[in-house]
Chains A and B, each alone.
Chain A
């Protein structure tokens, strides 16, 4: 079955999307799902840097077998509308880890929208999931995280967590966090949190008083802020790649 028409903003999952950007991508992009099957007892780690000047849509459908682990880490620093979607189904005792950073300002047309959309289905008991998303934006740009967690009726002992923090470097930028929890089991732990704020001015002055120029002080603070998203990534080289891509996007940001 192929998709015939583009979604609209009335679809909950597209509520904060850039519909013009999506139109430029075209309807065919919606059918391009990448399937990731992780057999029981095995694990998979995927790292992705999104950072071209064209609109991009990446859709993943992940199925985790019993006791399997999948970890996705993404730096979303696109120069145009960029959306990374991950749909995950967890079998018994499986674990899903997601770490994402959206970072950036405007392109020639104005503020760019960058977003993560996840749907994590705890279909069986004792599975765990942990999602950490950080958004750093300026120049009228927007960062979104739409995170849906579904816990099936018999999926007892589910442990699902979702954490979003937005850092807006100037007025006019925005961040949207939409946690959606649908829980039908009664013995579960589901946590979600979302905060949005500006750069810590006291910390910035403290750093400048020690001799750091404004750009370096900002880079260090942003690096510390987004670092949480990649803490769970053990491979240091991959972590550096994701961090470097994010910090490279920071060049030219409002100080």
Chain B
């Protein structure tokens, strides 16, 4: 579903990704772990198309298409979801309005009929319930006044509503307490665990992987994937640290 080949990317003049190759087929949840500064957030920003990240070599193919040729909103319409490490506050815009416009923009780009207000609210209510989020929160302004945990939970509600084929989740577990972590993990499982979907789960910690059992784990270091294995790789990292596992 997602094929990254020899990807090189820079921020400003500084090369961050240096020949990253990774393949994530449909049905797979693939965890990316790695030390600080390895390029994990750069990878997710490049996949999302954030301005300021320059791809200098390599390719990314998503569902057979050149992902890097698309604008961020076109990537979303093709089924890519980027979960933000730091979800952005948008004062003056309610979650409901934001998500309905987002979903209908995506549907329009795919040649589908827009959802009516009533249909959308029903969908939103379903997905919010899944993440144990009150509908009242969805009527509030996007991420404004939300705690760190609430923002991450709201990201997952957004993912549920937009129903992407592929999610890149950048440290979705950071800032979560144990209960919230369980809810978010269960949300990822129920929304994305499917034979025709896939997830790239960027994380520092084993604790999210205890809830969302990944099929594969890769270590990103120095801008490249240096090792790929099964779930046991994450456990080894947790026990021994990056230095000894990568040595």
Give me the interface of A with B, judged by CB distance under 8 Å: 200-203, 205-214, 216-217, 220-221, 223-225, 227-228
Q: From DSSP, what is the main secondary structure of chain A's interface residues?
A: helix
B 62-75 to A, binary, CB cutoff 8 A, 1 in contact else 0 = 00000000011101
The 4 A-B pairs at the shortest CB distance, nearest first, are namely A224-B92, A211-B76, A211-B106, A206-B88
- Tell me which of B90, B91, B101 contacts A206 (CB under 8 A): B90
Are B48 and A212 interface neighbours, CB within 8 A?
Answer: no
A194 CA to B184 CA, complexed, in Å: 41
CB proximity to A under 8 Å, residues B6-62: 48-51
Size class of the B contact interface (CB-based, 8 Å): 20 to 34
A-chain residues with CB within 8 Å of residue B92 when the two chains form the complex: 223-225, 227-228
Q: Is the interface of B mostly helix, strand, loop or mixed?
A: helix
Number of A-B contacts (CB under 8 A): 76
- Nearest residue in B to A225 (C-beta to C-beta)? B92
Pick 8 A–B contacts, CB within 8 A, sort by A.
A209-B75, A210-B102, A211-B105, A211-B162, A213-B109, A214-B71, A220-B98, A221-B93
B199 contacts chain A at the CB level, 8 A cutoff:
no
| Residue pair A220, B101 in contact (C-beta under 8 Å) | yes
Task: Answer yes or no: B202 CB below 8 A from chain A CBs.
Answer: no
Question: Separation in Å of the B82 CB from the closest CB of chain A?
Answer: 5
> Is A209's CB under 8 angstroms from B82's CB?
yes
Given contacts A207-B98, A212-B101, A228-B92, 18 further A-B contacts (CB under 8 A): A200-B90, A205-B50, A205-B51, A206-B87, A206-B88, A208-B49, A208-B73, A211-B102, A211-B103, A211-B162, A212-B73, A213-B105, A217-B73, A223-B92, A223-B93, A224-B91, A225-B92, A227-B92
Which residue from B72, B91, B97, B99 sits with its C-beta under 8 Å from A209?
Answer: B72
Tell me whether A210 and B48 are in contact in the complex, defined as CB-CB below 8 angstroms, given that A220-B101, A224-B90 are known contacts. no
